Copies of this chain bind each other. A is one copy, B any other.
Amino acid sequence: MNDLAIALRQNGNRHLYEQIYDYIKLEIRKGKLRFGEKLPSTRSLAEFLQVSRSTVELAYEQLLSEGYVEARPYRGYFVCQVEGLFGLEEAGQMPGSAGPAAGAGGKADIDAYADLAARDSGGRWGNGGASAGYGAVFSAAVYDFSPNTIDMEAFPYATWAKITKNILVNANSEMFTYGLPKGDYELRETIAHYLHTSRGVNCSPEQVIVGAGNDYLLMLLEKILGRHVAIAMENPTYKKAYRIFESFAYRIIPVAMDSSGMSAEGLRESGAAAAYVMPSHQYPMGIVMPIGRRMELLKWAGEEEGRYLIEDDYDSEFRFKGKPVPSLQASDRLGKVIYIGTFSKSIAPAIRIGYMVLPAQLLKIYEEKCSFYSTTVSGIDQKILNEFIKEGYFERHLNRMRKIYREKHDLLLNELKGMEDQFGIMGENAGLHLLLRDKLGRGEDRLVRQAQEAGVKVYGLSEFGVGEIPPCWDGDMVILGYAALRREQIQEGMRLLKKAWKY
């Protein structure tokens, strides 16, 4: 968010291709792009920066002519050996120009860059940044309203460090040896207790599996559910989960939503054996599924052996209006709900700890077929997290974050005042983003492009679509996340957006 690698400015006094040229040259001169490294393909970089391919080609041509990179037939552009430059200069300027060199990006940038170069297959960068999670680091926009970020400024770093220190002071062999496949029993106990009190989840620690993030837990679930599963997904949905199921070669059946969430009729007609749903705060629509619809889904699941509901409760901690909504699992009497949650939003993405609560029948299959898979979470980290929750720091942190997010949420709603003739607002009761429904038929593409040109990144709903999004929503939509933006960034971003979208 704060580190922009190539912070392109459309209205600057330098051409876009010069800014790209400047950036890459500087990285080579600083030794951050090394001899032999491959640049991203022109196509993927163009797509990612949302500039034309010829703009990137111009930049590469310039680098080529100056000997910073070489072109290898059929393979792409590679960094040349540039001797004696490393550390000599701080910045290089394009000959014959005097504008500022763009983006002296931090370490994270170059990492994203390196991987962009390595990917090269392209196609995911332009529209996948939001769900891929790290796209924002390498963004072309100055104000990025990504719905997939969190605010890490208020994290209690000192507390975390203190707990870590105390645990390591008492470190012993036992702590550093193999842990249990499902995770430390104590942590599972703590999680089970937390889920019960805060989300109404009914489970014993035996049902809890701790794992290194949702992606891993879904991989493990694949081993439990088996292959050839037909899975229903809300449409639009969390695209990352979609890609994961796709990589399992699951048959994915998009099911339309109404204002109560996934249509029960649609689910029944889908022929699916499992449904992936986010009942407490649908991503990205923000819909909270009412109890009636929940019971319909549970009824569907109960009608046949082997039917399951995968409940992704990814950001249930943040709710701004009305009573807390319990989990779907809380209403499950038949053992039909697989409950998945994460500490990525509520603590930090970097800690890579999530959990999955299995119903009895699937737990049995897990024990039989999968319990030899070693745990994916460090034993020390499990102890740190356990302390953090048990000693009340987690609850305090959540309370503070709720306050911070509510303030940002209210600020954004406030900034949207006066735009009622342009947009309807949806999903404003929970979560860390909201949706603007275009009333003027301008179309998502145009809104996103206009914002982009003003240096603001907003996200079109179609990015989250599974195939075609059924046209039951009255108008195109764009998504604005606010979690990682500071107060003044929200204000300035909205000022630019208002100008860009003036009609």
Contact = CB atoms under 8 A, between A and B. Distances in A.
Interface string A169-180: 101111111111
B182 A115 contact: yes
Given A376-B376, A378-B381, A115 B371 contact: yes
Contact of A121 (B132, B352, B368): B368
A377 interface: yes
A501 interface: no
A119 B373 contact: no
Interface stretch (A209-217, A280-288, A295-303): A209-217
Contacts of A149: 177
- One complex includes copies of this chain to the number of 2
A369 interface: yes
Contacts of A375: 213, 352
A419 interface: no
A396 interface: no
A182 B112 CA distance: 11
Contacts of A131: 372
A223 interface: yes
A152 B176 contact: yes
A395 interface: no
A475 interface: no
B164 A160 contact: no
Contacts of A180: 111-112, 115, 134
A152 B177 CA distance: 8
Nearest to A213: B374
A106 interface: yes
Interface residues of A, number: 88
A118 interface: yes
Given A108-B174, A165-B165, A115 B212 contact: no
A3 B213 CA distance: 31
Contacts of A349: 176-179
Interface in A335-359: 348-353
A137 to B, nearest CB: 8
Interface in A128-183: 128, 131-134, 149-150, 152-153, 155, 157, 160-161, 164-165, 168-169, 171-182
A110 interface: yes
Contacts of A18: none
A118 B176 contact: no
B168 A155 contact: no
Given A212-B216, A349-B177, A374-B215, A160 B171 contact: yes
A380 interface: yes
Contact of A348 (B107, B177, B212): B177
Nearest to A347: B176
29 contacts: A36-B204, A110-B185, A112-B180, A114-B185, A115-B206, A118-B206, A121-B367, A128-B372, A134-B179, A150-B177, A155-B176, A157-B168, A160-B168, A160-B171, A161-B168, A176-B349, A176-B350, A176-B351, A177-B349, A177-B350, A178-B350, A179-B350, A212-B216, A212-B352, A213-B375, A223-B247, A247-B369, A378-B378, A381-B381
Interface of A: 2-3, 36, 106-108, 110-112, 114-115, 117-121, 124, 128, 131-134, 149-150, 152-153, 155, 157, 160-161, 164-165, 168-169, 171-182, 184-186, 204-206, 212-216, 219, 223, 227, 240, 243-244, 247, 249, 348-353, 363-364, 367-381
